[in-house]
Amino acid sequence: MPLGDTEIILGKDWLDEAEPVIAWKNLTITYKDSIIGKASREEPLIPQEFANFIDLFQEEGFRELPPHREGFDCAIDLIEGAELPKPAKTYPMTPAKSEALEKYIEQELKDGKIQKSQSSMAAPCFYVNKADGGLRLVVDYRKLNAITKPFRFPMPVQTELLEQLKGAKIFTKMDIRWGFNNIRIRKGDEWKTAFRSKLGTYETNVMPFGVINGPAYFQAWMNDIFKDLLGVTMVVYMDDILVFSKTREDHVKHVREVLQRLLTNHLFLKPHKCHFFTTETSFIGIVISPEGISMEKEKVKAILEWKAPTTVKQVQAFLGLAGFYRQWVENFSSKAKPLTELTKKGIKFQWTDKEEQAFQSIKEAITKEPVLIHPDPEKPYIWKPMPQE
């Protein structure tokens, strides 16, 4: 991690053992005949204003098992009379994935986040490749989710979150480390989270990714932690936090308040996914600036490069991505109607000139990439009715 202007103290024990020769003029540390390191002049990942919160950005703290929190432990209530799924078969793994699984199981057992299980049901697990080249363990909880009572909690609405940013000129974005794993499973429900692997059956003590009520429980907890700050100095969607202010002086205060609450609640951040004091940032797939909101370049590029669908699933995938930016496309529903019709049950898939025209029409509208200004409730609104379909 770049140190920037952060000061560190090298103790006498280290100096006695290392016996370094320090050249202060060119900032080098020499051991015998070789240069071991050079002081970094990179910008620090954590600004000096928040140096006393450095522990929030260390992985060591996250390794501790989070406490039970009354009202916010993840309960897994099963539907009465539902038949429990049988333990799943294990999936074969490559040597690389088997090695990753061994390391994962060893570390999670050490941290107390999983434990050996004798559960009468267990979900299968497998690895998927991450965008950065790493591996992510996935547990397929679909059968558990099918017999779990839903926990109802309203998730934030994208447009409402963005409306709260009116007048903001400076932003800080934060990403909570391993969001779901910060919540404990309700005592007595651990056996329901069991997963089966080639190394045995284990159950989780923390809320795993993939359980149906995970997003609702996590959002409910976030809303409780920041309840008096929401829409005033920050917004939060799941594990993504955006702090906003009109001046830098106010922003330092606002960010410190958020960091303090994270510290109090034993939550940690990913330093490389945190961006401080920016005038433009991307949040929940939207680029935000004082001028307004716009689409992410990468997503626009993906839409424009999308090839004509040949299956219903491909149509649904395209509509899902393009529909995310529907507020930038005038009369989106009308433009997309021929494609939407293809997704209805009983409709035979046929890609004709009509569907191709609708497909290209949406692409063309997105290429304009307009910037939508932040709404101002103090100014008059013009209501434009949509044409009848």
In a domain, 196, yes or no: no
The residue segments making up the domain with residue 313 are: 296-367
| DSSP string computed for 199-251 | TEEEEESBPPTT-TTHHHHHHHHHHHHTTTTBTTTEEEETTEEEEEESSHHHH
Confirm whether 52 is domain-assigned: no
Is residue 304 in some structural domain?
A: yes
Mean pLDDT of 38-50: 66
Look at residue 329 and tell me if it is in a domain. Answer: yes
pLDDT digits (tens, 9 = 90+) for 245-276: 999 999 999 999 999 999 999 999 988 899 99
Do the Cβ atoms of 336 and 319 come closer than 8 Å?
yes
- Give phi and psi for 373, each to the nearest 5: -70, 155
Given a cut of 50, is residue 27 above it in pLDDT? yes
Binned at pLDDT 50, 70 and 90, residue 13 comes out as low
Tell whether 306 is covered by a domain: yes
Task: Report the first-to-last Cα separation within the chain, whole angstroms.
Answer: 57
pLDDT at 38: 47
Percentage with pLDDT > 90 across the chain:
65
Tell me if 321 is assigned to some domain: yes
| Rg of the Cα atoms in the chain | 25
Q: What is the mean pLDDT of residues 276-297?
A: 90
Q: Taking 70 as the threshold, does the pLDDT of residue 386 lie above it?
A: no
The full DSSP string for 19-32 is --EEETTTTEEEET
Which two structure tokens, joined as six digits, stand for 363?
A: 């692409």
- What's the pLDDT score for residue 63? 80
Looking at the structure of the chain, the number of domains it has is 2
Residue 12 lies in a domain: yes
Question: Is 126 a domain residue?
Answer: no
Query: Residue 357 is encoded by which pair of tokens?
Result: 């025209």
Task: Please report, for the domain that includes residue 311, its CATH number.
Answer: 3.30.70.270
pLDDT at 368: 81
As a whole number of angstroms, the distance between CA 181 and CA 204 comes to 9
pLDDT in tens, 344-372: 998 899 999 999 999 999 999 988 866 66
Question: Over 90: is that where the pLDDT of 163 sits?
Answer: no
